[in-house]
Amino acid sequence: MKVKTKSGKVDKAWLNEHVNDPYVKLARKEGYRARAAYKLQEMDEQLGLIRPGYTVVDLGCTPGAWSQYLRRRMAAGAAGPLDGTIIALDILPMQPIEGVTYLHGDFRAPEMRERLEQALNGRGVDVVVSDMAPNLSGIGSADAARMAQLVELALDFACKHLKPEGALVAKLFHGSGYSDLVSLFQQTFQRVKPFKPKASRGKSAETFLVGRGLGPGKGAAATELARSA
């Protein structure tokens, strides 16, 4: 494992922190591909987001820890058959997960969103989870704009495909544009909750917004999809 830094001391410090991270150790023990699984687990346990039988879309899925958690949560036992539908998408390749439909491509591209819609085959979506984030340039305004674009695309997808009482979980960063995205969530959903999971590193600016129940006028397309599901 190599981490590019200006200082070998910083490099060693980061590696030491990572190796000794309790969530990293737990992920290895429980067979998760990344410690990020415990972020989704905590949100699910506190808010009751995921149930067997659901249709769930996992955006920014690689390496697959969130899809793994969804797969276990929606199965009859951790290794049992999947009860529901999981469709995962990422610009980076992901190793297969039994029962999970994986789409390789850029969610920002209209043709990839079309492929995702085709994979849904008319089903209404119960939950969209998005761990998408741009490659950070270090230029705050540019990074904030790229992040906002991903969140807005996830919101647009949610408005079109969520069932009326469905939920969207989206990662974003505190900083420029954060309050605007919170306002956008509040305009879209009946209930909005910011969430900073314990598994999210304390130094990280990441947080998550959970929106539930499409607001009036937001769910017309989702309602029609839900009726046909």
Instruction: Check the annotation: does 14 bind a ligand.
Output: no
| Per-residue pLDDT, 215 | 83
At 227, the pLDDT band (50, 70, 90 cuts) reads: very low
Dist CA 86 CA 89 (whole Å): 10
pLDDT value at 178 more than 50:
yes
First-residue to last-residue Cα distance in the chain = 45
Q: Is 156 annotated as a binding residue?
A: no
Residues 25 and 45: their CA atoms lie apart, in Å, by 21
Q: How confident is the model at residue 219 (pLDDT cuts 50, 70, 90)?
A: low
The CATH code belonging to domain 33-228 is 3.40.50.150
- Give residue limits of the domains in the chain: 1-30, 33-228
90 is in an annotated binding site: yes
More confident residue, 23 or 174: 23
Can you give the length of the chain in residues? 229
Catalytic positions, written as ranges:
171
At 175, phi and psi to the nearest 5? Answer: 140, -155
d(CA 87, CA 102): 6
Using 50, 70 and 90 to split pLDDT, how confident is the model at 29?
very high
Q: How confident is the model at residue 4 (pLDDT cuts 50, 70, 90)?
A: very low
Residue 10: pLDDT over 80: no
- 141-156, pLDDT tens digit by residue? 888 899 999 999 999 9
Please state the φ and ψ torsions of residue 145, each to the nearest 5 degrees: -65, -40
Per-residue pLDDT, averaged over 32-54, amounts to: 97
- For residue 64, say whether it is annotated as part of any ligand binding site: yes
| Side chain identity at residue 143, one-letter code | D
pLDDT at 17: 52
Residue 88 in tokens: 């995962």
In the 8-state DSSP scheme, what is residue 123?
P
- The amino acid at residue 154 is A
Known binder of ligand: residue 58? Answer: no
